[in-house]
Chain A
Amino acid sequence: MTDGEAEKAEKVEKKYMLYICTGCEIGKSLDIDKLKEVADEEFSVESKTHEFLCGPEGVELIKKDIEEGVNTVIIAACSPRVNFDTFNFPDVIVERINLREHVVWSHKPNDKDTQMLAEDYIRMGIVKAQKTELPEPYKEEITKSVLVIGGGVTGLTAALEAAKAGYDVYLVEKEPELGGWVKKFAWLTPDKPPFRDLRKPDIDEKIKAVMEDERIKVFTSSYVEKISGQPGLFDVVISKNGTQEEIKIGSIVVAAGWEPYDATKLEHLGYGKYPDVITNVQMEEMAANGKIVVPSTGEEAKSVVFIQCAGQRDPEHLPYCSGICCMVSLKQALYVRNQNPDAKAFIIYKDIRTPGKYEDFYKRVQEDPGVFLTKGEIKGVNKTNGKMVVEVADTLLGEDIEIEADLVVLATGMVPRLYEYQKRYFKARELMGLGEPTPEESMMVASDKLWEALEDYKGILNLQYRQGPDLPPLKYGFSDSNFICFPYESGRTAIYAAGPIRQPMGVAESEYDATGAALKAVQALELIGNGAATFPRVGDLSYPEFFLQRCTQCKRCTEECPFGALDEDEKGTPLPNPNRCRRCGVCMGACPERIISFKNYSVDMIGSMVKSIYVPEDEDEGLRFIAFVCENDAYPAFDMAALNKLEWDPNVRIIPLRCLGSFNVVWVADALSRGIDGAILIGCKYGEDYQCHFLRGSELANRRMENVKETLERLALEPERVKVVQLPISDYDKIPQIIQEFIEEIEEIGANPYKGF
């Protein structure tokens, strides 16, 4: 213990009380007196029992003790994931011991091993409470304003929504005019039942509303030159016609949008070769100008072929589906048909993808007798006798066909504006000697290589972050986010991505997206203003503290922080930005010097919990295993397994971690040097389709296994004693099997020779 820590420990004297609930089968399945004995004899902690602790009487019991001076409440009852509001006592340390789900519901009642398990959890819980301090929030006077980048439909909506919620908004648009792509569109696909009629874009009303809103300040022909600082306290430099303006910003919505895929790369579909082959964007502009004509002759187009997935779902071009082009072509087919009742519109598709109720719009267009649809592969687009001829193979008509047309429209896809940034990521990977990321890898790159690859890159945000100037992109250049649960989130705290920069989407979806992102931006301001964390540890008041005297400038923390929270001084010492932090503890896990701690989460705390586990000297009394389990998905999965009456081996002790990324290698030494036979790390799926709530925590934990191997070698132990497992929450039913397989592997190696040392 350092001097500083000793000082703090002295500051508040802890008065402990352990409460053991005997309800929910706990009392029937365990020897409660023996548990009380452990607390009393080993830790001198008093304890009380109650048969219904979460009931009003039980809560009253605790409250009364708190009034009488108890300030550290240890509750041995149900999972901390339930009744958290019942057992929420302000200004008091509350520690929960999960006797219900993790002991009695998942193990044999009144069994020696189950009793030992419960006793160990009592020990671990008390030790954890001993090592916990009440967090004091990091609070600074912040600016509660929102910066919206992009003046298209997404940006305009986000600005209006944030302003409506009562926040000042700064809207930056690079073009001289607001409105983005939608301003150029003739009609939009219907967004309301019965999904039949095209609607006029209401973009002009939106622009007007934004211009008239007193809370919104609009910068056109402008871009963000620089953003420094941290959420709540961003210093933003906006450049307009060479002049700079500096503003203070609290949070940011990035709605930089998309651009059409470069059709000049689609020469095989006739683009660039024939003037009568155009893109869907050109078609839209033509319709907005009034008439759909054949470019080469200027005459009305009476026969139009739409080629879907032009340069999409194609490894040579865009490998993904842009999700909206089917709706666009269906809409544009109606332009052709509405212009002339004798006109024909052909749509050649790979699959028609009209998600949700847009299927009704597809049905409506299908009904038109002059619209002809077939699946097919384009074999060639040529011009013969002044007419375009499209050759299609593998059609539903049963044979290859040739369609004569006046005009060919290529349904090109959406390229996110982060695409260029993503290319630099690939370049950085190249500089690192890496190729395309494998499915087990995310796009993570070394930041010095990234900066090298950036050179003349003109960014969207131009963040002055050590880890790069823009939102970390995914493989295809869309902004990284927690795709499944929290789509607006990005890899940068209080900066939210909305609209097609995040995922290909249409106008209605972009509006929903903008609303969601604007509200997240507003929510972030309120949380940060209170010194609380944003997603996923919403409301967490703790933050990492760095004992920098012992820092060796190894830069692991600044490199690995998934949110770019840490900058560096010239020497490489981390410069923390608490408002950028999500409190995952990845830095804590990375630090070889173990100088990063939270008030209520530290290397020492977990290490002490590990050391508190009773390890029988005689292996006949049972081996001992630790499961370091991610709090976000794996821990609830264990709860779910218990709820479903699944049983797992009683010799496993579960220690929840904020994120597997906060796993510090020293805990392996702590555990195995005491004779614990093996440790299993259970966390979220990582790699391309990761489910980690902190983007790459589980991936980083897996990478640290190299260091773990070294530690084990030093101890002359087998590397197989430590294992990382990915567990999606829905796979809770596999838990007993996962545990069993691991135990069998260890049993094959044999007991830890350090037992009894």
Chain B
Amino acid sequence: MKVEPDVNFVNDLLKMGGASLKKCFQCATCSVVCPLSPDDNPFPRKEMIWAQWGLKDKLLKDPDIWLCHQCNDCSVYCPRGAKPGEVLNAVRNYIFYEFSTPKFIGKLFTSPMYLPIVLLIPLVLMFAVLQIPGVLKTPDMEHVIFGSFINDLAIEVAGLTAGAYVILVALISFYKYWKAIGMSQDLAFEVERGVEGKTEQKTKGFLTELWEALLEIIKHSRFKECTTNSYRYWAHLGAFYGFILLAISTAGATIYMHGLGIHELALPIYDPVKILGNLGFLLVFVGVSWIYYARLSRSDVAGSPSYQDWFFITDLYLVVITGILMEASRFAGAASIAYPLYLAHLYFVFMLLVYAPYSKFAHLMYRGLAYVWAKRTGRMPELTQETVQVQATEA
């Protein structure tokens, strides 16, 4: 292989959360302690030197980086302070950028320098939508009914439009990454095994692999392997299922509005949809708070978050906090607080949605794809004996 290190790529990774990457001296302690790495050609030792050498092509087509859940055992045990966990996170951040569509929007998430633009775009869009006659209404100050403030239909149209855009660009990015990691050669798949040459493995078929991958995701079984940061399993599980509950309750609300014809959506607290939503809120709130706490109070063990991490969890946090405050002020009948909070909530939700393919939210798609790839190639090792035993005792 002819090597041509890309110094700019190294510098980008340094800035995108991998500030310690040059410290690695290749002892491979990381690969040994990693509970998630396969025995054969394990990560993250090899990724570390590729990153140091600026071997962008190698890293961009290496789905192994998604098999890492930043348990941070590697960073904790690294004798050199090279923090492989954070470096792989930086590589993932780079992938958000590299495969983004269009790339200039992805670029906005590579540095906090662009944060004002990132904040301004949804603001401007929202402002523009609100200018459309009939969208903004005179709110009912007696009873807090959000539909009386902003036209529900407008929100639905805006949301569906944004959603369509997101799905479109996400699909394009998905396809680009699909090709990059070699999923397009779908029958006989080749995995590079470094010095040991190449092995071939038959695909079990995309659907089977997808199903297996989904099961892993639903069970969070790989997250569970984390030992140094075992909190991550619970915190992520909370946020993940909380988010799903919120999605279900949103669907429920839509059914209420369109299926049951309830137009004034001010559900009482005992309504099943409301209960699901509040439960979802609670799970996300606790999960994200936990992440915040761990990352801030013991970043040496939990890992220092990159800008992308901050942006994503903060936005998510603001979404749920404004949401619950809205609900609280509605029940309290504090209209003057409730309506501005509603605006803010819409803003954060819109941001979360419209930036999903560019922000850390996109890990759902890339990691999901990498899981499918890993199921296809056998890169996802079986659970360790230890975990199996733990599960047996728990059962």
A369 is contacted by which of B4, B22, B26, B50 (Cβ under 8 Å)?
A: B22
| Distance to closest chain B CB from A370 (angstroms) | 6
Compute how far the CA of A92 lies from the CA of B22 in the bound complex, rounded to whole angstroms.
Answer: 69
User: Does B23 lie within 8 Å of A363, measured CB to CB?
Assistant: yes
B 1-27 to A, binary, CB cutoff 8 A, 1 in contact else 0: 111110100110010000000110110
In the complex formed, the residue of B with least CB distance to A393 is B195
Q: A398-B195, A401-B1, A404-B2 are in contact. Are A344 and B25 (CB under 8 A)?
A: no
Q: B311 within 8 Å of A by Cβ?
A: no
Q: How many A-B residue pairs have CB under 8 A?
A: 58
Question: Could you say which residues of chain A place their CB within 8 Å of the CB of B5?
Answer: 344, 372
Question: Could you say which residues of chain B place their CB within 8 Å of the CB of A366?
Answer: 22-23, 25
User: Does B7 lie within 8 Å of A369, measured CB to CB?
Assistant: yes
Q: A369-B11, A403-B3 are in contact. Are A398 and B194 (CB under 8 A)?
A: yes
Question: Could you say which residues of chain B place their CB within 8 Å of the CB of A369?
Answer: 7, 10-11, 14, 22, 54
Question: Could you say which residues of chain B place their CB within 8 Å of the CB of A400?
Answer: 1
Q: Which of B190-234 contact A (CB under 8 A)?
A: 194-195
| Distance to closest chain B CB from A348 (angstroms) | 11
| Distance to closest chain A CB from B136 (angstroms) | 51
Question: Could you say which residues of chain A place their CB within 8 Å of the CB of B1?
Answer: 397, 399-402
Q: A67 within 8 Å of B by Cβ?
A: no
User: Does B194 lie within 8 Å of A372, measured CB to CB?
Assistant: no
* Residue of A344, A363, A398, A401 contacting most chain B CB atoms (<10 Å): A398
| Distance to closest chain A CB from B29 (angstroms) | 14
A402 is contacted by which of B3, B7, B11, B54 (Cβ under 8 Å)?
A: B3
Q: Which of B272-299 contact A (CB under 8 A)?
A: none
Q: A140 within 8 Å of B by Cβ?
A: no
Question: Could you say which residues of chain A place their CB within 8 Å of the CB of B25?
Answer: 352, 362, 366, 373
In the complex formed, the residue of A with least CB distance to B48 is A396
Compute how far the CA of A601 lies from the CA of B105 in the bound complex, rounded to whole angstroms.
Answer: 92
B26 is contacted by which of A362, A370, A396 (Cβ under 8 Å)?
A: A396
| Distance to closest chain B CB from A194 (angstroms) | 15
Compute how far the CA of A375 lies from the CA of B7 in the bound complex, rounded to whole angstroms.
Answer: 20
Q: Which of B23-51 contact A (CB under 8 A)?
A: 23, 25-26, 41, 46, 49-50
User: Does A368 lie within 8 Å of B22, measured CB to CB?
Assistant: yes
Compute how far the CA of A638 lies from the CA of B171 in the bound complex, rounded to whole angstroms.
Answer: 80
Compute how far the CA of A366 lies from the CA of B49 in the bound complex, rounded to whole angstroms.
Answer: 12
Q: Which of A75-126 contact B (CB under 8 A)?
A: none
Q: Which of A391-435 contact B (CB under 8 A)?
A: 396-404
Q: B267 within 8 Å of A by Cβ?
A: no
A 20-62 to B, binary, CB cutoff 8 A, 1 in contact else 0: 0000000000000000000000000000000000000000000
Q: A367 within 8 Å of B by Cβ?
A: yes
Q: A374 within 8 Å of B by Cβ?
A: yes
State how many residues of chain B have any CB contact under 8 Å with chain A: 24
A397 is contacted by which of B11, B23, B41, B50 (Cβ under 8 Å)?
A: B50
Question: Could you say which residues of chain A place their CB within 8 Å of the CB of B80?
Answer: 363
Compute how far the CA of A399 lies from the CA of B10 in the bound complex, rounded to whole angstroms.
Answer: 20
B 245-285 to A, binary, CB cutoff 8 A, 1 in contact else 0: 00000000000000000000000000000000000000000
In the complex formed, the residue of B with least CB distance to A363 is B23
| Distance to closest chain A CB from B37 (angstroms) | 15
Q: A593 within 8 Å of B by Cβ?
A: no
Compute how far the CA of A306 lies from the CA of B17 in the bound complex, rounded to whole angstroms.
Answer: 30
B53 is contacted by which of A362, A372, A375 (Cβ under 8 Å)?
A: A372
Q: A342 within 8 Å of B by Cβ?
A: yes
Q: B55 within 8 Å of A by Cβ?
A: yes
Compute how far the CA of A397 lies from the CA of B2 in the bound complex, rounded to whole angstroms.
Answer: 12
User: Does A399 lie within 8 Å of B2, measured CB to CB?
Assistant: no
A 709-751 to B, binary, CB cutoff 8 A, 1 in contact else 0: 0000000000000000000000000000000000000000000
| Distance to closest chain B CB from A376 (angstroms) | 11
Compute how far the CA of A401 lies from the CA of B5 in the bound complex, rounded to whole angstroms.
Answer: 12
User: Does B2 lie within 8 Å of A401, measured CB to CB?
Assistant: yes
User: Does B2 lie within 8 Å of A374, measured CB to CB?
Assistant: no
User: Does A375 lie within 8 Å of B26, measured CB to CB?
Assistant: yes
| Distance to closest chain B CB from A443 (angstroms) | 38
| Distance to closest chain A CB from B31 (angstroms) | 12
Compute how far the CA of A162 lies from the CA of B392 in the bound complex, rounded to whole angstroms.
Answer: 76
Compute how far the CA of A352 lies from the CA of B24 in the bound complex, rounded to whole angstroms.
Answer: 13
User: Does B22 lie within 8 Å of A397, measured CB to CB?
Assistant: no
Task: A372-B53, A397-B1 are known; give 14 further A-B pairs, CB within 8 A.
Answer: A342-B7, A373-B52, A396-B49, A397-B3, A397-B46, A398-B194, A399-B1, A400-B1, A401-B1, A401-B3, A402-B3, A403-B2, A403-B3, A404-B4
Contact sample, A vs B, 29 pairs, CB 8 Å cutoff: A344-B7, A352-B25, A363-B80, A366-B22, A366-B23, A367-B22, A368-B22, A369-B10, A369-B11, A369-B22, A369-B54, A372-B52, A372-B53, A372-B54, A374-B26, A374-B49, A374-B53, A375-B26, A396-B46, A397-B1, A397-B49, A397-B50, A398-B46, A399-B1, A401-B1, A401-B2, A401-B3, A402-B3, A404-B4
- Top 10 nearest A-B pairs (CB, nearest first) are A398-B194, A369-B10, A401-B3, A402-B2, A367-B22, A396-B26, A396-B49, A372-B53, A401-B1, A366-B22
